[in-house]
Amino acid sequence: MFEFLFKKEQKVQELIFTYLDNLKMTQDHFEKAMDCLFDFGLGENCDFLITQTHKFESRADDTRYEIIEMMYSKVLIPESRGDILKLLESIDVIPNHFETLLFMIQGQKLRVPDFITPDLRQLMKVSLECCDLVIKQVEALFKKTEDIKALVFTIDSHESRCDHIEREIVRKIFDSELDPFQKLQLKELVIHMGEISDQADRVSRSIYIFSIKRRV
């Protein structure tokens, strides 16, 4: 009824959802870029998709800075302000991982050997599912659409699965006859990819804490 009194808060809410849209776009382009790399290796198409991923990551960053700027103009009560800033900072690590991974492959001209491609695809798929669930969880925090606690459990089980796949890929890499330098390069790639679900799990737990903190 009195929402017209709180225009800045409404603007922050809109910006958070814009940020989530950009995050989703970054994620979608990352997925396409990775699929392209798995299927055809580095090339013009992949470069274009990497640039697009970077573009949406930058857009997400711009939106995040806009939110931070609004927050410093004393929007919301201090506790909510602090929670939202922490949350955004934590979520923002995820698109940074997407970008780092693609730049790593592009810059180091990495070739993914066929014997780990299915596992890497699987790791990427489960990690990105974690990201989708995190987006859902953020929406649940701001819109009360879903049970936050249930999502924490799902993300946690996905993260455990990612850890398992990650260990399996690293084992396969070091069991192979690849050049030791390439083994280390691939290990770094796998570990970075595993970081996506780890970070999603961290964000998910913070969201849960923010939500239970508000229960009295």
Query: Closest approach of Cβ 134 to other proteins, in Å?
Result: 16
Residues 83-122: x where in contact with other proteins by CB under 8 A, - otherwise, as a string: xx--------------------------------------
**CB-based contact 98:30 (threshold 8 Å):** yes
Helix (H, G, I), strand (E, B) or coil at 14: helix
User: By rule CB under 8 A, what count of residues binds other proteins?
Assistant: 21
Q: If binding is defined by CB under 8 A, does position 143 make contact with other proteins?
A: yes
Q: If binding is defined by CB under 8 A, does position 74 make contact with other proteins?
A: yes
DSSP string across 19-75: HHHHHHHHHHHHHHHHHHHHHH-SSHHHHHHHHHHHHHHHHHHHHHHHHHHHHHTT-
Query: What's the chain's length in residues?
Result: 216
Q: If binding is defined by CB under 8 A, does position 7 make contact with other proteins?
A: no
The 10 Å Cβ neighbour count of residue 212 is: 10
Q: Which is nearer to other proteins, 70 or 76 (CB)?
A: 76
Q: If binding is defined by CB under 8 A, does position 149 make contact with other proteins?
A: no
Enumerate residues 6+ apart whose C-beta is below 8 A from 92.
60, 61, 64
Q: Which is nearer to other proteins, 77 or 180 (CB)?
A: 77
How crowded is the C-beta side of 135, counted as CA atoms within 13 Å?
Answer: 19
Residue 178 backbone phi and psi in degrees, to 5:
-65, 160
The region of 27-35, 45-53, 73-81, 186-194 touching other proteins under the rule CB under 8 A is 73-81
Figure out which of the listed residues 2, 107, 109, 114 binds other proteins, where binding follows CB under 8 A: 2
The region of 76-84, 96-104, 166-174, 180-188 touching other proteins under the rule CB under 8 A is 76-84
